[in-house]
Every structure is written in C-alpha cells, then in structure tokens.
Structure 1
Amino acid sequence: MGYLNNNTGYINDLLATRAVIKKNNFAILPPDGLVKNVLPGFENCDLTILSSPQLGASFVDYLVTLHDGGNNRCGFGGEEVETFFYVISGQVCVEADGQRHTLTTGGYIYCPPGTLLFMENANQGEDSQAFLYKRKYQAIAGYQPHLLVNHRDNLEKVHYEGMEDVIVEDLLPKDLGFDMNFHVLTFAPGACHGYIETHVQEHGAYILSGEGVYNLDNNWIPVKKGDYLFMAAYVPQACYATGRGEPLSYIYSKDCNRDIPL
C-alpha cells in the first residue's frame, strides 16, 4: 500500500494528525497519512480514495498521480456512472467516445454515463496529478448530459454573491441534463463567504492553493493547499482566506438539478 507522501519509517516527533473524520457529517484529510490504493485498470499510478460511501458521500473522489507512462487503458466509468477528471498539475492525454485530447493544468473532461474515460500521462517523464470523480447518474425524462472537454482559462470569472474579492467558476453547464456541477471558488486573502451556508447539497473539495480556516459544523479548522474536504448535506460551512498573498482556491463538486426522492 504505502503512504502517498512516500515518507517511511519513524518520524522525529509525536504521532499526530490534522485529519478530522466525522462520518456522514464532514471530514478534512491532509496529505500526510493518506495511503496509496491499488485499483484495477491503473498502471504506474498512485491513487488515493478520498470520499466514498463509507464516509457518507454519494460519490467517490480520488487523487491520482500518474508517473512516467502512467495510464488507464481499460477505461474508467461505465453504465449509469458519470465521471469527471481535472488536471491539478502536468499534462494528461485523455480519450472518450473516440475523441482524444491533451489536458494541461486546469484542463478537465466530463464523461456521461456509459462513456469510458481513458487516460495516459503526457508530461515527458515527469509526474502529473489529477482529481477524479465518479457518481451514479440520476436520469430524468427528456434530458441527458453530454461529453464535455474544457479548460479553466475559457471560463467566465464571476464575482461570487457580488463580492469583488471572491471569484467562482462554473466548470459544467447549467443544464438539467447534468445532475451535478463542479466549481472553482477563489478567495483573496481576507475574503470569506457572505454567510455560513446550510443546504442539502454535499461537496467534495480539493484545495488547489492558499490557506484558510473553514467552518464545518461550527468547528473552525485551519486548512491549506493539498487538503481534501468532505461536506455532507446540511452541514454548516463557510471559510475565511488567510495566508500571505496567495489566494485560497479550491475545486468542488455539487449535486444539483434534481428533486429529493421519498
């Protein structure tokens, strides 16, 4: 198995962690302590399973490090399963539905249910890292999602809730065919949410840059680049960006466009 940070043996300190796990409520997973998971179809890749149903999520999030030649040529996803792949660093060739694209840092692909995603590191001998997501698609009559490939550079930067120092980017269309979306939320140092949110949507979030303090179920907890957060339905949530000059920015998923079944 092994640790994601590749540190082995004893540490010169007491055993301690910033991880906080409240199943069916919220979780914070820092990089230290995360382990590598071996999954069928992935070759020369380190994978860490972040959120999962065992934690209380309706989706599965992964952190994928593709080493030199790292790939999945078997295909990821399948019937009734939608997938999303975002390049955190490096360069990855992806293929889906006969279309082949090279994604650089900030590039992403969404695959609708039934469309397999193939990937291969294209970073000329260097590692690439990506955020990977899968979820069972909730179909409704008359609507369906479609394959989408894009890059953050092409997205509109919108002032979140009218606040000039907070920017939100919508990665997927606001279309009823999609039962979820991905966003990137960026806070300048000192910026924050306008209020502590409480809502039915759940989130899985990966911090791309910066530092901050996050309120999760009225616990203010320091977070920083490389941390992963899970937020279950209705958990109170908000953050302040801190740090020195670097914005707090994170990518996160959100279920949407569907009524609640009884």
Structure 2
Amino acid sequence: MSSYATPPGGLPPQTQLTTNRARFTQAYAVLPRGTMTDIVTSALPHWDGTRLWVVARPLTGFAETFSQYVVEVAPGGGSDRPELDPRAEAVLLVVTGTVTLGLAGTDGGTTEHELGQGGYAYLPPDAPWTLRNGGAEVATFHWVRKAYEAVDGIEVPEAFVTHESQVEAVEMPGTEGAWRTQRFVDPADVRHDMHVNIVTFEPGGAIPFPETHVMEHGLYVLEGKAVYLLNEDWVEVEAGDFLWLRAFCPQACYAGGPGRFRYLLYKDVNRHARLW
C-alpha cells in the first residue's frame, strides 16, 4: 500500500530559517510542503469539521482553467452541499482515512461509496453529491475543480468511482516501465475536458526532453523526490510539494531515487482554444 504525503499543518518554530524552495514566476509556481501550515487554511460554506489548503485557483495571466484543494475532514465532518457552482466538474482522490461519497441517481435515490486511500471519483457538472467522514480518523483528499466546457452534440460524461489499484499503469514508449501513467479516463473520450492522472517514475526514470505544450498543469507530489525542470530552472521537489505550470512552460524531470516518484497530475484537454 502506498503512503501518500499530506500537508504538515502546524507552524514552524521561530528558530527556523525563512529560506525555502517556494517560487512564483511568470511561468510556474512551486509551493513546498512546508508552506502548507495552519495559518493558510480555509473553510468552505456548508462544510462541517473541515479545513482545506487552496493550492491552485484561476489567475488572470497565469494558470486559468482549474482550482485544486487539499481537504482535511475530521471524524463526523463533511457536507451535504459540497459544490455550489452548477458548472463545476470535479475529481476527488482520497489520500488518508475514509470518506463516504453519496451520488444521486436518476431514479431519485442515492448510492453511497466508501472511498479509502487511493479511492478516486469523477463528478460531472450539476451532479448532486455529498461527502461525509464516518470514521474515527481524519480523512484527507484532493479536490480538483473545473468549469465544464459543454459542446453541442457531445454528451456530458457520467459520474464514476474507482480505485487506483483498478487502473492499469501504462508505460511510456521506450521506458521499460520506468515512466508510467495511470489514466482514469480514456484519452480518446472527448466528453472529458480534463484529465487527472497519477504518474509514476522508478528511480532513474526521466522525462528526457523539455515538454512544451498548451495544457496547463497542477502537479501534487504524492511520493518520493525528483529534480524538475520548470522553464529554465531545475528545482528539487519532494512528497507534499505542489507545482503549478502555465501553458507552454517547458518541463522535464529526473527521478534519482532512492524510491519511486509519483504525482497527481491535472491537465486541460479536448477543447478548442478560446478566442477572446
């Protein structure tokens, strides 16, 4: 079973140096795990026993298509009205504890799904859902949100629930398994306008060229460490860090070990570029 990083919370001692790896540039941002303290948490309307770290939100002139939260729900906490924007689709990935996700069916009933570590859910726009922590331990999950871009003649995708263990990790060509991606949605399914995948590198695995593309990224490191190329800078990253990459930001990485390097990756896909 994997052990996934979560925000440390708390507050550093007064003796700690202020120097760290935090960066915010015109092309990318790096939020090291140490920046996710108690003093930067937020609350949400209609959520009980819950706090969250907002690690990405749309900013004009920077990343513009998504928001991402790391949500911590205490025992007994949760929400019966979690999403207030009917345009918003979402992906949830549970990293600690267990939550109960309620999905409304077309028959008016509700189906409940128990999601533990590695549990994954896609929630389409305007789909009623609830989330509760009925366990005895704090539960933590990633919540990626995007305003769904509807297309005439294309159906909105349906909700689904799965687990990362049920999704095959497909190796990238020529890597002999050193670089693998778990794709939770078929890339050819144009109903979906975002992909949220888990990418894994074995020690020594690498992206051996600077990827430069129109998709913007949110990248939360779940396990391990690596050196990541962001625009013109090589930056060390580790479990619990979050990276935010603007469209066309050159990127590559090298996973030096000693263990595997894994991250949750968001990207926008399958839609025309907007013409303002």
Q: Indicate whether the TM-score tops 0.5.
A: yes
Contact map agreement 1:51 1:57 (CA 8 A) in 2: no
Match of 1:90 in 2: 97
Contact map agreement 2:95 2:141 (CA 8 A) in 1: yes
State how far apart, in whole Å, the 1-side matches of 2:150 and 2:85 are. Answer: 15
Q: Deviations over 1:208-229 (max 9, x none)?
A: 1000011010210000001111
Match of 1:76 in 2: 83
Report matched runs for 1:42-191 at 5 Å: 42-54=47-59, 56-97=63-104, 98-122=110-134, 124-143=135-154, 144-164=156-176, 165-174=178-187, 175-191=189-205
Distance 1:96 1:77, change over 3 A: farther
Q: Deviations over 1:104-141 (max 9, x none)?
A: 1111111111113311124x311111100111111112
Q: CA deviation at 1:65?
A: 1.1
Amino acid aligned to 1:43: D
Q: CA deviation at 1:186?
A: 0.3
State how far apart, in whole Å, the 2-side matches of 1:28 and 1:136 are. Answer: 24
Contact map agreement 2:225 2:239 (CA 8 A) in 1: yes
State how far apart, in whole Å, the 2-side matches of 1:228 and 1:9 are. Answer: 19
Q: CA deviation at 1:77?
A: 5.0
How many pairs were matched up?
A: 256
State how far apart, in whole Å, the 2-side matches of 1:182 and 1:9 are. Answer: 32
Amino acid aligned to 1:173: D
State how far apart, in whole Å, the 2-side matches of 1:77 and 1:99 are. Answer: 20
Q: CA deviation at 1:9?
A: 6.8
Gaps of 5+ in 2: 1-6, 105-109
State how far apart, in whole Å, the 1-side matches of 2:112 and 2:84 are. Answer: 17
User: Does residue 20 in structure 1 map to residue 19 in structure 2?
Assistant: no
- Secondary structure at the counterpart of residue 158 of structure 1: strand
CA RMSD between the two structures: 1.6
State how far apart, in whole Å, the 2-side matches of 1:41 and 1:172 are. Answer: 30
Higher relative CO (Cα under 8 Å, sequence separation at least 6) belongs to 2
Q: Tell me the TM-score normalised to structure 2 length.
A: 0.88
State how far apart, in whole Å, the 2-side matches of 1:242 and 1:69 are. Answer: 41
User: Does residue 254 in structure 1 map to residue 261 in structure 2?
Assistant: no
Q: Deviations over 1:125-161 (max 9, x none)?
A: 1111110011111111221211111111111221123
Gaps of 5+ in 1: none
Contact map agreement 2:63 2:247 (CA 8 A) in 1: no
Q: Tell me the TM-score normalised to structure 1 length.
A: 0.92
Bigger shift: 69-78 or 97-106?
A: 69-78
